[in-house]
A and B are shown apart, each in its own frame.
Chain A
Amino acid sequence: MCFNRNMLKILLSLSLVLMVGCTSSILPLEISGSNLQVRPIARVSAAGPMAISADGRMVAWGGKVLTLVDLETNQRFEPLSLAPDSLCWSPDGSLLAAALYHDGQAQLQVLDRNGRLVFEQTLPGRVFRLRWSQAGGLMAGALQADSYKFGTHVTEHLLRWDDLWQVTDIPLYETTLMPITMARLGEHLYQTFDFDLSPLGDEVLYTRVHAPPAFSSTRHLILHNLRSGEERQVANLPLLGGTGRLAADAESVLVVDGQGTIKKQDLWSGALRQQWPGSRFDYSAATDLLIADGRLFLDQLEFFDLPEASSAQFSLGGKFILIAWHKSLYRLEGYSVAAVPELEPEILERLLKLRYLRSRGLIEPNEYLDAKEKLAR
């Protein structure tokens, strides 16, 4: 996964510097003398989730209603008069998954490019994070909450659909939160659960509330190996805010602490590797690019700033950035992206086995790294 990373970084750095020059603000300014292109897409009436397909052709957002735009044909659809909680495009851009919540019922709807319903399913809990990748298929993180006099029983599920829409429910965590904790969380409870899939598809990073009696409530960032089911805590997070993303090398994690700092640290040793300022962020594991509070980084190299108060999101594969700014959506493209090279299937299989053995404690992290190095030779 991370072989020849230095070469990759240099190439990407050069390409970005050549194309962008000293540009610091790209919206709504025109950028001359570079390949960067900003395309206005639409006005949006309210903030909400948004998603751009991997090929950059399809854009969807949900403020008050769900809207799809085909940028190739300029067709616009409004298939649902509901505001979705979460959106994501399939890797080929042909399908859109939307997580909805209406009348106490959580639902997944999958639509084609024209907004026609392809698949729908009732979900066991509300979903604020959908993820669709080649490695993992469509995945949703559902949080189910059942209220009782003595507290609220919370269950976190990871739902995973295959090509035939068969779903696998992986229960990740359950706990009972005391009324005092629930009073602090309110409707934000559902946003305490976030997850990310490793670029290798074998491990999931997720958040869970940790609210022991007589101690402050926090959240834990947990690494879960999908094959072994073994888990380990990676970081502590505040009860509200903060999350984590698995980095492109699949060996480190970006911990967003919710208090203005994003740290990249080793998944197993916890050693700090890099640090950036920022709270609003998106990360592309396919390219290792990070947008933190509107600033685009590759490692510590900063390339350009987006306007203040904008929010940005990478497409799957990282070739496009969808930007929301001043109630408008823009598509940014034209920066040369060098994707992280994929491993040969035979090497990937052995690497996954080593990672599985490490998760079970059958080999130590240092033994894993030695074996991985030998595998790369």
Chain B
Amino acid sequence: MIRILCFLFVLISTPVFAEERGSDCLSCHQQDSANRQLLASSHAGKLLCADCHGEDHAAIDRGESFVGADVCGRCHALQLKEHRNSRHGMALHTGWGCTRNEPERDKQECAFCHQQGSSLPISTVQCARFIKQSSEMGQIGCNRCHMVENSCGSCHGNHMTDAKIVRDPAVCAKCHMGPDHPQWEAWQTSQHGTLYGSIGEPDAPACQTCHMPLGTHDVSGGLTAPPSGKPYAQQKAAAQRNEMLDLCQSCHARSFAARDLQMADAVRLQTLKLVAEARTIIRDLDDRGLLDPQPKNRIEHPQRGQELVLDGAMLYEDISHIESLFFRLNKYAAAKTFKGAYHQNPAYTHWYGNAEVKLLLNDIKGEARRLRERVSQPGMTVDEPQDEKALEVLQKRYQRGELSDADYAEKKRQVLEQILQ
């Protein structure tokens, strides 16, 4: 009899508890800004707190209530799919590091790579620059941009999700600004940006106009190179370029826009050539054991150990002075040059970019000369015999593809002649 009464009680009371799910939160959080923002958003009346955060209050208290992109994707499936296919959806791949082996790590960080309760990583790529940072610096200086891979709130905000927020180009500026990729500044001070400031849309383009046309969440459309910088294959690049020109055509003659972007392509290639020249100088110094300090005498690179790293995993800590110059040249000045060119900004292309690239290349050449001359000073001789060192340098250059088979053989023959004399 008691069992039947209990069953009836449960049966009758279930809808009441369901009704109470949302109001349970509001009994305490009614006046919270989160609730006020939610009520002012387009989600008002459609979503309850538990729909996104779940019902486990203890887990929420432990900071495990992160609302990942998959939660939003339950309703916004198309947008999530577009986002996942774009470079925003790969943001962690371009700059993230797992901290599981780091001492005194902040366990909150797990949520940026792992869905709640899952050990499968969203991203398997580690970022050396992230690993080198303190937990706090990693959180503020890295995660708050790179979290975009798995957090719609990164652009939309967490509770006040009105579309007008994300249609403002300022929302992009949070990440797409600064010395390493000043897209926002380059746009803002270009003719596109100044027109946007004076006459606004629809006659002046914002970030979203070109990179998120018609509200797509695939921000990679129309771009001819991935974040790694190595251009797409010609066929894919041509298709991407056509996609961008289709947009340009809404205001410009297609041929005019095509010429402009082709000039930017040329600027980019010219800049990358200067970067390569600087990189070759530093590698040659490393081959000869002239960097100070040499990679073998430094704190190990977290991914590559005691080798010279000048690519995307290059650090700005524990490196030599000439590498610092190269970091600025490659990461800051070169980026300003071609991002300025692609955003039609003369000052960024020339003075912040091109001029800085060339001035830093001068500095690198001067520093290289100093390091080479220093070897001849007393007490600064290189340990290894010079002929042996010369062969090592040739071998490394050959392995990097800087010497053809014939050139390598000929240069080795010349060194061997010296040994035989």
**Chain A residues in the interface with B (C-beta under 8 A):** 350, 353-354, 357, 361-363, 367, 370-371, 374-375
Chain A-chain B contacts (Cβ-Cβ < 8 Å), number? 26
Are B419's CB and A354's CB within 8 A? yes
CB neighbours of A370 from chain B (8 A): 416
Complex formed: what's the CA distance from A371 to B419 in Å? 9
Q: A371-B416, A371-B419, A374-B420 are in contact. List 15 more A-B contacts (CB 8 A).
A: A350-B419, A353-B419, A354-B419, A357-B388, A357-B391, A362-B388, A362-B395, A362-B412, A363-B391, A363-B412, A363-B416, A367-B412, A367-B416, A370-B416, A375-B420
Q: Mark B283-296, 1 if CB is under 8 A from A, else 0.
A: 00000000000000
Q: How far is the CA of A362 from the CA of B287 in the complex (A)?
A: 13
Interface flags, B377-421, vs A, CB<8A=1, else 0: 000000000001001100100000000000001001100100110
Distance (Å) between the CB of B363 and the closest chain A CB? 33
Q: Report yes or no: A362 in contact with B419, Cβ–Cβ below 8 A.
A: no
* B391 neighbours in A (Cβ, 8 Å): 357, 362-363
B residues less than 8 Å from A367 (CB atoms):
409, 412-413, 416
Closest 9 CB pairs of A and B: A362-B391, A371-B416, A374-B420, A362-B395, A375-B420, A371-B420, A363-B412, A353-B419, A357-B391
Q: In the assembled complex, which residues on chain A have CB atoms less than 8 Å from the CB atom of B395?
A: 361-362
How far, in Å, is B272 (CB) from chain A's closest CB?
Answer: 31
Q: Could you tell me the distance in whole angstroms from the C-beta of A6 to the nearest C-beta in chain B?
A: 24
Question: What are some 18 contacts across the A-B interface (CB < 8 A)?
Answer: A350-B420, A353-B419, A354-B416, A354-B419, A357-B388, A357-B391, A362-B388, A362-B392, A362-B395, A362-B412, A363-B391, A363-B412, A367-B409, A367-B413, A367-B416, A370-B416, A371-B419, A375-B420
Dominant secondary structure of chain B at its interface with chain A = helix
Interface residues, chain B, with chain A CB atoms under 8 Å away:
388, 391-392, 395, 409, 412-413, 416, 419-420
Bound form: Cα–Cα A353–B388 in Å: 9
A354 partner residues in chain B, CB cutoff 8 A: 416, 419
Complex Cα gap A354–B416 (Å): 9
**For A362, what are the chain B residues with a Cβ–Cβ distance below 8 Å?**
388, 391-392, 395, 412
Most buried by B among A354, A357, A374: A357
* B residues in contact with A363, CB < 8 Å: 391, 412, 416
Q: How far is the CA of A158 from the CA of B391 in the complex (A)?
A: 30
Chain A residue contacts of B419, Cβ below 8 A = 350, 353-354, 371
In angstroms, how far is the closest chain A Cβ from the Cβ of B386?
13
Note all chain B residues with C-beta closer than 8 A to A357. Answer: 388, 391
- Min CB distance A67 to B, Å, is 50
Compute how far the CA of A353 lies from the CA of B385 in the bound complex, rounded to whole angstroms: 11
Please give, as numbers and ranges, the residues of chain A lying within 8 Å of B412 by CB-CB distance. Answer: 362-363, 367
Would you give the shortest CB distance from B214 to chain A, in whole angstroms? 58
CB-CB nearest in chain B for A368: B416
Bound form: Cα–Cα A363–B413 in Å: 9
Nearest CB in chain A to that of B391: its residue: A362
Q: CA–CA, A366 to B183, complex, Å?
A: 55
Q: How far is the CB of B398 from chain A (nearest CB, A)?
A: 11
Q: How far is the CB of B232 from chain A (nearest CB, A)?
A: 36
A375 to B416 CA separation, bound complex (whole angstroms): 11
A375 to B421, CA, bound (A): 9
In the assembled complex, the CB of B408 is this many whole angstroms from the nearest CB of chain A, namely 10
- Complex alpha-carbon distance, A357 and B413, angstroms: 13
Q: How far is the CB of B420 from chain A (nearest CB, A)?
A: 6
Chain A residues within 8 Å of B409, by CB:
367
Nearest residue (CB) in B for A353 is B419
Chain B residues with CB below 8 A from A374, complex form: 420
Closest to A375 in B: B420
Which residues from A are CB-within-8-Å of B392?
362
CA–CA, A289 to B409, complex, Å? 38
User: What's the nearest-Cβ distance from chain A to residue B419, in Å?
Assistant: 6
Nearest CB in chain A: distance from B403 CB, A: 14
User: Chain B nearest CB: distance from A371 CB in Å?
Assistant: 5
Complex: how many Å from CA A367 to CA B408? Answer: 12
Q: In whole angstroms, how far apart are the Cα atoms of A362 and B416 in the complex?
A: 11
B91 to chain A, nearest CB (A): 42
Q: Would you give the shortest CB distance from B43 to chain A, in whole angstroms?
A: 58
Instruction: Enumerate chain A residues within 8 angstroms of B388, measured Cβ to Cβ.
Output: 357, 362
Shortest Cβ gap from A365 to chain B (Å): 13
